[in-house]
Amino acid sequence: MSSQLSSQFTYATAAPQIEGAWNTDGKGPSIWDTLAHTPGKILDNSNADDACRSYDFYRQDVALMKSYGVTAYRFSLSWSRIIPLGGKDDPINEAGIQFYSNLIDELLANGITPFVTLFHWDMPQALEDRYKSMLNQSKYIPDFLRYARVCFERLGDRVKHWITYNEPGVYTLAGYAGGAHAPGRSSNREQNEEGDTSTEPWIVGHTQLVSHGYAVDMYRKEFQPSQKGTIGITLSGNWSEPWDKSDAADRAAAQRALEFEIAWFADPVYGPGKVDYPGCMRKQLGERLPQFTEEEKRLVRGSSEFYGMNTYTSFFVKDNIVGGPIPPEDHKGNLRWFNENKDGVSRGEESDTEWLRTAPWGFRKLLRWIWERYHVPIYVTENGTTVKGEDKLTEKLLNDRHRIEFYRKYVGELAKAVKDGIDIRSYFGWTLADNWEWAKGYTDRFGVTFIDFDTPEKKRYPKRSAAFNRDFFKHLIAKS
């Protein structure tokens, strides 16, 4: 793999964003179902009750993927569809298990390899009601392990690629620091009734790391010997470049940004030396950052057999000089972000999403930074963009040039990184189809397939980017 591009060009999705059927066939409510039905929490006042109706039309989606030439599909399981109340002693919903079993069989019958994520943000509401879910590590871990066990037992004979958590950092910060995402907790009482931005994110992040370690330990001991699968975690992170490269403080700030965003989870799992969070985090957060017990250290270090990498853009970063102590609500390393650097160079062309600009110049740098720091095979598990003006179905919309150029440039940088000797095993575009984009509702469209949400069947229309990606990736593989 060090000199050739992987043949796996494919797409990723998440259950809450595409499935719909939010209360069908015994499924229990998740924290996102709760948030979506709370007035004022979603930008367009929508909900994911139907989403893309992939629960009903999964065979159609698999047929689309086959026509797009993909060889693998990354999707998540809905915990509350499988165990409606979520807990270790709660009943299993056989209809939920059957749905995912049918989906996996359909994928395999069409030559598509399933990559399965256990947790993509949709915590069963019952666990939030019982004990505040991840804020109570001792109660949460047995419940998560029982859920993982059910999935391994019932699906692991056909699933050979497992991901425990998707973007634990984003789940933590958006749900417990910013408070805009479920479960909607922060110190901002104008927005959230409960929460403490200064402490809860670090508790929740630690719970995810430790529970991930326990789940991997269980899989390796009880299932991997017979099922022969692989397991890991997917982390989020974008490249951070100094606003002023000649300024030592800005260079340090850019490194700090990478460590607060990425190394927060990656250092304990992959890093050399002692198992701990990055030193810059310890220095700023002090006792608010949990300590690893000896047992947790053993479980977490080496608990991912690959580096799952979700990335979208790049930023210019400047040190945030403050006159006094860093505010306890700061959770990103005392930084400021800019769309242009000191010399007025833009980080990239705008998309339809405020923070997301096409910035492939940082993608290769990020791949190199991760490879040199951790030296594990990289699976790019999410990468994609929105496009301005994709709200109405038109021929111009389906000819999504901005998205095509995004993929051309990012996959091109990926190919260069492979030739640099970086071990990259896959590339998953985000996403297969326009979907319900969390607190943005249906306003952000990331798909290579347009979904007409106004039609009962959520009619699907391939965009040109789907055909481009199929042909472009084949071309790169032939050259490698």
Question: Which one from 241, 259, 296, 382 is the annotated catalytic residue?
Answer: 382
Residues 6+ apart with CB under 8 A from 393: 450, 452, 461
Q: Is 167 one of the annotated active-site residues of the chain? A: yes
450 within 8 A of 463, measured Cβ to Cβ: yes
Q: Is 382 one of the annotated active-site residues of the chain? A: yes
Question: Which one from 19, 128, 167, 305 is the annotated catalytic residue?
Answer: 167
Place of tokens 């991760």: 370
| Active-site residue list | 167, 382
